Amino acid sequence: MSYTFDLDRRLGIPLPHLLKDWEDYSEYEQADILLQWERIRGTIPEQIKKLERIIILKQDQLNGEDHFPTSCRLNSEIAELASTINELHLWFRVNQDISSGRTHQ
């Protein structure tokens, strides 16, 4: 198969990996890729909500934390989760970009 959807552990969703230019795929393959992507794309809002809940828990921990190294660790974890949410938002907006042959790598 000349395309795959590989799980990105950080994002928690499979991402498209196209092994050739979009125009080189048959109409059937293009439709299959888009169908698979739309199914995956539909899971992104719930993934974002899950990460937001984790951020809220970590913020609650941070509010009561007096140990500076632990506060730094929590801040770092919150920032990483926020970065992941931002990237998920970008992927959620990817729909027609796949059909133009551009995907995030």
Given a cut of 80, whether residue 6 has pLDDT beyond it is yes
Give bridge partners of residue 24 from the DSSP assignment. none
When pLDDT is averaged across residues 67-90 and rounded to a whole number, the result is 98
Residue 34 domain boundaries:
3-99
Provide the b/e sequence for 64-73 (b: ≥16 CB within 10 Å): ebeeeeeeee
Give bridge partners of residue 5 from the DSSP assignment. 16
| pTM score, whole prediction | 0.84
Domain-located, residue 45: yes
Q: Of 94 and 24, which is predicted with more confidence?
A: 24
Domain-located, residue 64: yes
- Residue 95 has what pLDDT? 67
Domain-located, residue 104: no
Domain-located, residue 84: yes
Domain-located, residue 105: no
Q: Which residues contact 2 (CB under 8 A, 6 or more apart)?
A: 18, 19, 20, 25, 29
When pLDDT is averaged across residues 41-50 and rounded to a whole number, the result is 97
Domain-located, residue 76: yes
Domain-located, residue 10: yes
Q: How many domains does the chain have?
A: 1
